[in-house]
Structure 1
Amino acid sequence: MDLDALTAARADQWARLDELARRRRLDGAEADELARLYQSVATDLSTIRSTAPDPTAVANLSGSLARARARLAGAHEPAWSDVARFAVVTAPAALYRIRWWIVGVAAASIVVAVVVGWWVATDDGALAALGPKSARDKYALHDFSDYYAPSSTFASVVWTNNAWLSALCVALGITGIGPAWVLFTNAVNVGSVAGLMATYGRLDDFFASILPHGMLELTALFTAGAAGLRIFWTLVDPGPRPRSRALAEEGRSLLTVAITLVVALAVSGLIEGFVTGSGLPTWVKLGIGAVALAAFWAYVLVLGGRAARAGETGDVDVERGGDVRPVAA
């Protein structure tokens, strides 16, 4: 099929459809005309997609048809099928695309935490920098374990704090420095506490209190940092796409990741608020944390991998993404 010939033959109809779809009021004749044009242009779009899938033509016609469909069908609430599709296709696809970024951020954070923990545990000067001995004694012997007393208030406070850190990584992602600083600071804090607890021979208590919720909580923070750094790297190297388009696409995917992290952090907050400080055996608490972490990665790798192989990116579909300009692959 010759796309230029089809465009020349149908351009007036396409323009008329878009004009009618954008009007605030339609009389009876115009509404009938809109319905006829909708059917005709939908056929044209199907033809273009199957024989000459030009991105600009597809996006323009999809946008016009979406507006026309809204006028014909009237406003409606998002269908549950859209919510389900977001949960099992769009969100895991967005996470899958940054899986190696998550692994890289996690590895770097763990290295920083281990180095800082070793330094605090083996250097008297580093240990003294954490505060006077009386304060260190009180924290290591009492405050650390008392902090995790189960309560709904504590769970909500934990969720708010973690959501705030993740939001900082997302909001400051374009700077590159923002998420890197949040991640570095968090790793230093975790390592410092681990080193302090090690000097009191309570490293086992540290891991028993941190890991049940921390496996998922820290992974969520690493994911937020990875998403933020990914959009920064898109600014540096947009690839074959125009920089503005690349940032728009990655930014929309970043918002998808942020929404999923709200759920992940809520789960980790519940575990921290009701499991970590509970009287359950340590192996049970660690098992709950491991199951939560495994569920997260199964969501990313299984559902996300399947969605990615089907061409999903975590971005909105072509009808909602707006017009795009074709670029070289």
Structure 2
Amino acid sequence: MNAPAQFRGLRAEREEEWRRLDALVSLCERKSPRALSDDDLMALPVLYRSALSSLSVARETSLDLELVTYLEHLCARAYFFLYGVRTSPGARLRQFFVHDWPAAVRGLGRETLIALALMLVGTIAGYLLVSAQPEYFNAFVPGDLASGRDFSASREKLRESLYSGADQDGLAFFATYLFTHNAQVAIFCFALGFAFGVPTTLLLVYTGAMLGAFLALYGGHGLGPQLGGWLIIHGSTELFAIALAGAAGLRIGWSVVFPGAASRLAAASMVGRGAATAMVGVVFMLIAAGLLEGFARQLIREDAVRYAIGLTMLLLWLVYFYAPRRPRNG
């Protein structure tokens, strides 16, 4: 028997099974697997295996590409309902926070250290340059961000900016503004990574330079420890989030520069999935930093309490991301 004749016999024998499998899968898609009877549930895996067998024969013997495509699509739909993992939104969210996000961050360990090192280099450079030449301060810190906190301000004014509380009605707006600003920095660090990681590197260094400029300004007026408390209450979360965003961007940039056997686009796409998972979590970190910056920092005036909150947040993030975990079952 030649191949076309063999397949015509197979089609005549099994076409009814394909139609039944299609009907059962369609019912599951419209409603749910609970809509199937006990007999249909028992028949579903048998029909699926039969369809797989037919697909194997069809690929070898059939010249009907439309039918082969139909069987491939049918088997894929049936596979989803037989073996696909279907979880509730709550379970999926729990899996993200318990497993997916920490795993993605741990996978960026090398790049995170590089991002932190780049920010540290920028901080040291900004501090040294502004300490030696105060006019560099305006080059590193935009006027809107400085808001009068520059070398023309008195020590009393600078100290007041560290401890004056915003009015209650303005706190929410202030938190929203700062969250938007920090989110833009983090998103740019991530999104610009595809350009070989160069813009991400420059942005991380520049972020550190702004921090160094503020340290030089307040340290020069004898307010270094007070500025540390003002910064750390939210900065331990905020700067960590920016470092993770930069790490994700650097990972993508590295894959573009050294794609291996894959194309640059394929390599960037492959590593981008894990980096994107980390970035989704970074958004939650920025929300927390925005709340700490807009509320806790304005309401808490004691330096010791500010340091305690900031260091506690840093410890919590480190434990959450890097503490050993039991391997996942399955």
Using structure 2 for the length normalisation, give the TM-score: 0.68
Contact 1:148 1:272 in 2 (8 A): no
Is residue 255 of structure 1 aligned with residue 276 of structure 2?
yes
Compared with structure 1, are the counterparts of its residues 242 and 212 closer, same or farther at alpha carbon in structure 2 (3 Å cutoff)?
A: same
Residue 156 of structure 1 and its aligned partner are, at CA, apart by: 2.0
Counterparts of 1:190 and 1:35, CA distance in 2: 61
Counterparts of 1:263 and 1:257, CA distance in 2: 10
* Aligned position for 2:106: 96
Name the amino acid aligned to 1:169: C
Which stretch has the larger CA shift, 160-169 or 141-150? 141-150
Determine which structure has more spread, i.e. the larger CA radius of gyration. 2
Contact 2:233 2:293 in 1 (8 A): yes
Is residue 194 of structure 1 aligned with residue 215 of structure 2?
yes
* Aligned position for 1:237: 258
Residue 218 of structure 1 and its aligned partner are, at CA, apart by: 0.2
Residue 66 of structure 1 and its aligned partner are, at CA, apart by: 5.5
Counterparts of 2:102 and 2:288, CA distance in 1: 17
* Aligned position for 1:140: 158
Give the SS at the match of 2:260. Answer: coil
* Aligned position for 2:193: 173
* Aligned position for 1:58: none
Residue 239 of structure 1 and its aligned partner are, at CA, apart by: 3.3
Compared with structure 1, are the counterparts of its residues 77 and 311 closer, same or farther at alpha carbon in structure 2 (3 Å cutoff)?
A: closer
Counterparts of 2:131 and 2:163, CA distance in 1: 19
* Aligned position for 1:321: none
Contact 1:197 1:203 in 2 (8 A): yes
Counterparts of 2:52 and 2:98, CA distance in 1: 28
Compared with structure 1, are the counterparts of its residues 269 and 64 closer, same or farther at alpha carbon in structure 2 (3 Å cutoff)?
A: farther
Correspondence 1:33-182 to 2 at 5 A: 35-38=45-48, 67-70=77-80, 78-126=88-136, 135-137=152-154, 140-143=158-161, 145-146=163-164, 151-175=171-195, 176-182=197-203
RMSD of aligned C-alpha atoms?
4.2
Higher RCO (Cα < 8 Å, 6 or more apart): 1
Contact 2:121 2:205 in 1 (8 A): no
Correspondence 1:257-276 to 2 at 5 A: 257-276=278-297
Compared with structure 1, are the counterparts of its residues 127 and 29 closer, same or farther at alpha carbon in structure 2 (3 Å cutoff)?
A: closer
Compared with structure 1, are the counterparts of its residues 123 and 236 closer, same or farther at alpha carbon in structure 2 (3 Å cutoff)?
A: same
Number of residue-to-residue matches in the alignment: 275
Share of identical aligned residues, percent?
26
Name the amino acid aligned to 1:262: V
Is residue 212 of structure 1 aligned with residue 233 of structure 2?
yes
Unpaired segments of 5 or more residues in structure 1? Answer: 1-11, 44-61, 313-329
Counterparts of 2:134 and 2:235, CA distance in 1: 28
Compared with structure 1, are the counterparts of its residues 87 and 116 closer, same or farther at alpha carbon in structure 2 (3 Å cutoff)?
A: same
Contact 1:209 1:277 in 2 (8 A): no
Unpaired segments of 5 or more residues in structure 2? Answer: 1-9, 28-39, 54-71
Residue 220 of structure 1 and its aligned partner are, at CA, apart by: 0.4
Counterparts of 1:30 and 1:128, CA distance in 2: 65
Counterparts of 1:162 and 1:124, CA distance in 2: 25
Counterparts of 1:230 and 1:26, CA distance in 2: 43
Counterparts of 1:94 and 1:63, CA distance in 2: 32
